[in-house]
């Protein structure tokens, strides 16, 4: 999974202190966690990054978050969506064409 457009392996190295953030990566992470770059640089343990809740996002924002996932996770999400759509189509078909 990518964090705000930052590659997973890069994010892991940054977390472990093996690599420094670039200004661009810092900006992306600040946006992702709804923090300012100053809040990240001058970290205060009392400031907890806002959890990303996809339901609170517009459809476009939801799609952008999904696009940030690695290919396997993205494929899983789209397979789930396809399953729900097909179930709905089947239920609608049965409702319209089968007398209960």
Q: What pLDDT tens digit does each residue of the chain (100 aa) get?
A: 444 566 778 778 887 888 888 888 888 878 877 778 888 888 777 766 666 677 777 888 888 888 888 889 889 999 999 999 999 998 888 888 886 5
Check residue 6 and give its pLDDT. Answer: 65
Check residue 33 and give its pLDDT. Answer: 76
Q: Where are the domains of the chain?
A: 1-56, 70-100
Secondary structure of 45-82 in HEC code, one letter for each residue: CCCCCCCCCHHHCCHHHHHHHHHCCCHHHHHHHHHHHH
Nearest to 37 by CA among 24, 54, 20: 24
């Amino acid at each position: 999974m990518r964090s705000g457009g930052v590659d997973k392996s890069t994010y892991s190295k940054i977390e472990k202190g093996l690599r420094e953030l670039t200004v661009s990566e810092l900006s992306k992470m600040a946006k992702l966690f709804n923090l300012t770059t100053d809040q990240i640089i001058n970290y205060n343990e009392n400031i907890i990054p806002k959890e990303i809740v996809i339901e609170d996002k517009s459809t476009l924002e939801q799609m952008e978050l999904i696009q940030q996932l690695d290919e396997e996770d993205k494929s899983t999400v789209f397979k789930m969506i396809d399953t729900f759509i097909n179930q709905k189509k089947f239920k609608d078909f049965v409702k319209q064409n089968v007398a209960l």
